[in-house]
Amino acid sequence: MSDETSELQAKARHTASGVPRREALKIAGALFVTGLTSVPTGSQTRRARKVIVGGAGIAGLSCAYELMKRGHDVTVLEASGRTGGHVRTVREGLADGLYVDAGAEHFTQPGYDRYWQYVREFNLTALPYPRRNRMLRVLQGKMYSEDDLQSPNVLKALGFNQREVQFLASHAWWELPSLYFDPYLEKFTDEYRPFDAGLNHLDQITMDQWLRQQGASAAALRYIGGSGVSALHVLWHAAILKLRKVPLFPPRVFRLKGGNQGMTDAFAARLGDRVRLERPITKIEHSPNAVRVYYRESGDEETMEAEYLVCCMSAVMLRQIPVHPALPESKRYAIATVPYYTASRPFFQSRSRFWEKDNISPNIEFNERSLNHIWRMADDVETQRGLLVSTADALTTGEAALKSFRRYYSGKSEDIELALVHDWSKDPWVMACETLNYPPGDLMRLWPALFEPHERIHFAGAYADNLNWGMEAATRSANRVAERIDSES
């Protein structure tokens, strides 16, 4: 222990015997700076850090929770009036206890390894989610079953070449990319080091261009996709899934009983009043040793100082907050450039589960802007009513989504009584959903710049991990930050 520290401790012991309050505050501040809030851990001395977490989505909540468990002093500043971010379960307007996961749809096993640890830790109930069973797909204006899409005659009519027809005749529809991807995926041996694969030149061309080089048909290009996105980025994502032993389109998925918001509610309950709502961050100042955060509270500007700041809001929100001194150019570019999409969640309440009477699968890919895909939900609710949940472009209305559904649904028993929409684009704080694949040339500029810390500012969230799989990416990146901050204690 230094002589300076010993002197400060001696002064602190006498603050109750006549030391003026101003001097006592100076001593307390000095104690904080020199680390006298230390707690012993084994043979080493560990010090509780003061950390501000910006954003109370699943990334911010899990990061704060992990820091709290390690004994750190954590405050979460959330701009909106609720916790959870994109993890939101909607019940308003629905009958009989029905509910809709408006944001995070599902989780997989394997693939969501960190998330499953929390499911067990919080004693939450995971339900098998049959949303990908007996899939129907609308292609070129016509509905096809899974069996249809293994028929050589059907596949030839859709425009696939002979090699693709032979592959799909013995593989599921969603496996088509594997025909071209698989020979390259083994080159990726570390899921966080895409540039070690020796394929960096593929960051300069689009996936469409690369597929043409591989001899893919126009039909394969249409259904695999990849216009305007880096071929290297797409292959890297596929390689990550292979390394985690996860299918490209996992048919076996899960959700939480009662809604996926049960997870973020569990975090928030454990954090208690460490989470402060309706406190949007307006400015960040930082030095090599500390951070100062400006935020609004009840219309007034307030400030808070800490040793670390963890930015857990989306990059879309982060890029609107002034940072002084400015972050490095590489970090600024990454935050300003990372692409996002926004979407809406239409959902239909029906008087019955009519698809069962019609013997038609409700799990359908429409590939329409007003109705991308649809599936059933809330089967655990005891009711005769049915509930169909879907995704669509932003600004889609319930009427437009229902019109698209009725255009293709072939059954006679449809009795939808209510069409509602949760439109994320209208939420000022979480309008950005998940990130998209990067355009050619940007992977090398965005990775790993997106998740690297700068001085005492760290970054977590789905955008700050290697695979943009919502809740798992968020909790993975949050744990990485918590472990790093704790290791520096």
Q: What is the mean pLDDT of the chain?
A: 91
| Burial call 334-357: b when 16+ CB within 10 Å, e when fewer | bbebbbbebbbbbbbbbeebbbee
Packing angle of the helix pair 113-121, 261-271 (nearest 10 deg): 60
Crossing angle of the two packed helices 58-69 and 261-271, in degrees rounded to 10: 40
Query: Half-sphere exposure of 246 toward its Cβ, with a 13 Å CA cutoff?
Result: 20
The pLDDT tens digits of the residues spanning 77-95 come to 999 999 999 999 999 999 9
- What is the CATH number assigned to the segment(s) 50-84+258-336+440-487? 3.50.50.60
Cis peptide before 40 (omega within 30 of 0): no
Q: Is 454 within 8 Å of 96 (Cβ atoms)? A: no
Is the distance from CB of 291 to CB of 457 less than 8 angstroms? yes
Q: Could you write out the DSSP letters of every residue in 256-290?
A: ETT-THHHHHHHHHHHGGGEE-S--EEEEEE-SS-
The sign one gets for the Cα dihedral 322, 327, 333, 337 is negative
pLDDT over threshold 60, residue 141 = yes
Dihedral over Cα of 236, 241, 114, 391: its sign: positive
Q: What pLDDT, on a 0 to 100 scale, did the predictor assign at position 253?
A: 97
Residue 467: pLDDT over 60:
yes
- Determine phi and psi for 487, rounding to 5 degrees: -70, -20
**Would you place residue 45 in the very low, low, confident or very high pLDDT band (cuts 50, 70, 90)?**
low
Q: Encode pLDDT of 280-315 as tens digits.
A: 999 999 999 999 999 999 999 999 999 999 999 999
Residue 303, helix vs strand vs coil: strand
**Per-residue pLDDT tens digits for 150-186:** 999 999 999 999 999 999 999 999 999 999 999 999 9
d(CA 202, CA 449): 19
Residue 462, token pair as written in the block: 């789905």
B/e letters for 474-485, b = 16+ CB within 10 Å, e = fewer, are bbbbbbbbbeeb
pLDDT of residue 489: 77
C-beta of residue 383 within 8 angstroms of C-beta of residue 95 = yes
Residue 96 is classified by DSSP as T
Q: What is the pLDDT of residues 263-279, one digit of tens each?
A: 999 999 999 999 999 99
Reduced to 3 states (helix: H, G, I; strand: E, B; else coil), residue 128 is strand
Percentage above 70 pLDDT, the chain: 91
| Burial 412-431, CB ≥16 within 10 A → b, else e | ebbebebbbbbbbbebebbb
pLDDT of 65 over the 70 cut:
yes
Kindly tell me if the per-residue pLDDT of 8 is higher than 60. Answer: no
Residue 430 has pLDDT above 70, yes or no: yes
User: What's the rounded mean pLDDT across residues 446-450?
Assistant: 96
CB neighbourhood size of 454 (10 A): 15
CA distance 409 to 173: 21
Beta strands in 130-169 (DSSP E): 136-139, 142-144
User: pLDDT-derived band of residue 72, with 50, 70 and 90 as boundaries?
Assistant: very high
Using one digit for the tens of pLDDT, what is the confidence trace for 405-416? 999 999 999 999
Q: Quick check: pTM over 0.85?
A: yes
CA distance 225 to 365: 15
324-352 pLDDT per residue, tens: 999 999 999 999 999 999 999 999 999 99
What is the mean pLDDT of the segment spanning 450-460?
97
Taken as a whole, the chain contains a residue count of 489
